[in-house]
Structure 1
Amino acid sequence: MNQTSPVRRALGGRAVRSLTPVALAAVIVAGTAACDSSDTSSQGTAKSTRTLSAEPAASPTATESQRTQEDFAASVSADVERNRQKAVATLKGVEGKGNAVEDVSVTGLPVAAEEQFRSALVRVSNRTDEAAFYAVRVEFVDASGKVLDSVVLGFPDAPPNRTVSQHANSRKAAGVKSFPRIAQAERS
């Protein structure tokens, strides 16, 4: 037995397909109300009613952030520079190697001859019970021990009993067989 809804019979198949979701929902609700006007069953209890909500015509679009990748990169660069300047100021008053040389290690990273900088991975292990600022000076030296470049890094809020790392990069030591070493390290 082919049962066609009263709404579909009244409007025809193509007319139903061309309706917008809002109009279709209104037609369905009106048709349901016209076909089923009784509010109670034979036992006198209320029937359940199902309400249909129309789908939105279009999904809301995501709004683009006002912050560009360039803004983010500039923000990160500003933080790195601020930490570097604080580290330079911290190391100015330090005599000798500083109070945290044992907490810092450095490893030279392999580079190809055509690369434009020499890089080293600097690790700081905060062995104290409180977050601390570490100022580290890394020197890039050649085989004879001559200092080719000196790079200062700042490690803000190094967490207690944790190790953090950063890269020290030198353009002056690029293309030259060089070795990184820790010249100074101060915890404050």
Structure 2
Amino acid sequence: MSDAQQQYRPHKRPRHRAPRALTALAAAGACAVALAACGDGDGDGGGTTFTPRPSPPATESFTGSPPAPLASAAQSAIESARASASAAASSAYARASEFEASVSAEIARANAAAEAELKDVKGRGNATSDVSLTGKPRSETGGLLAVVVNITNSTDSTASYAVQVDFHDPDGKVVETHFVGVEDLEPGERAQPLAISRKPPEPRLTAEIAKAQRY
């Protein structure tokens, strides 16, 4: 080939590679965005992930039966309360029995006679003015409610007395009744038998003279 031909040989135009470069840059940018979004936040420019906390279910309008665990817990609490109440009642009854066991057989017989005497008495009886009640400290009765029945023979002759003592709950309902009596009380003489409740300390009870008969 001559020098002239070499001088006039056309040169090939280089291919335009800009699109490939742009494509590579775009891919690199996408990877960078993906890495930023998946980063753990340790780097200065790392992305932060957010996990929403689930809201608790609304229970204000709940109308169905409680879940089994809740129902079971409630039932256990009820049974425990009943057992405690039963134990308290049994304990009170036992303490009352022990306290009354120290009372003489003669007083027990007089109390039984008083109950029989008041069986047919109408109204409150004829001797309420001769009888009054005085509370006895629980420290002396093992925590039991006990009242002293003060009976004074205000007549000028020997007399026997029968007294009915009712115990009321806070609602005024009679929950327990006891009978006490004394026999052959001399004129002006005073006797002080006890009326002891067998109920638990709570709820608080109130004692009242329901009947008092002189015979």
TM-score (norm. length: structure 2): 0.48
> SS at 2:179's partner residue?
strand
- Larger helix share, 1 or 2: 2
Residue 81 of structure 1 and its aligned partner are, at CA, apart by 2.0
Residue 76 of structure 1 and its aligned partner are, at CA, apart by 5.7
In the alignment, what sits opposite 2:122? 95
Matches within 5 A, 1:4-153: 77-111=104-138, 115=142, 117-153=144-180
RMSD: 2.4
> SS at 2:113's partner residue?
helix
The gaps in structure 2 that reach 5 residues or longer are 1-99
CA distance in 2, matches of 1:169, 1:92: 20
Match of 1:162 among 171, 177, 189: 189
CA change 1:176–1:110 in 2 (3 A) is farther
> SS at 1:106's partner residue?
strand
Contact 1:122 1:166 in 2 (8 A): yes
> How many residue pairs get matched?
115
CA change 1:144–1:122 in 2 (3 A) is same
CA change 1:148–1:173 in 2 (3 A) is farther
CA distance in 2, matches of 1:171, 1:184: 20
- Which amino acid in structure 2 is aligned with residue 107 of structure 1? T
CA distance in 1, matches of 2:143, 2:206: 16
CA distance in 2, matches of 1:185, 1:124: 9
CA change 1:89–1:117 in 2 (3 A) is same
In the alignment, what sits opposite 1:39? none
- Larger strand share, 1 or 2: 1
The gaps in structure 1 that reach 5 residues or longer are 1-72
CA distance in 1, matches of 2:194, 2:149: 6
Contact 1:109 1:119 in 2 (8 A): yes
Contact 2:170 2:203 in 1 (8 A): no
CA change 1:173–1:179 in 2 (3 A) is farther
Residue 86 of structure 1 and its aligned partner are, at CA, apart by 0.9
> Highest CA radius of gyration, 1 or 2?
2
CA change 1:176–1:75 in 2 (3 A) is closer
CA distance in 1, matches of 2:104, 2:134: 23
Contact 1:107 1:180 in 2 (8 A): no
Contact 2:152 2:188 in 1 (8 A): yes
Would you say 1:176 and 2:203 are equivalent positions? yes
CA distance in 1, matches of 2:103, 2:207: 25
- Which amino acid in structure 1 is aligned with residue 130 of structure 2? D
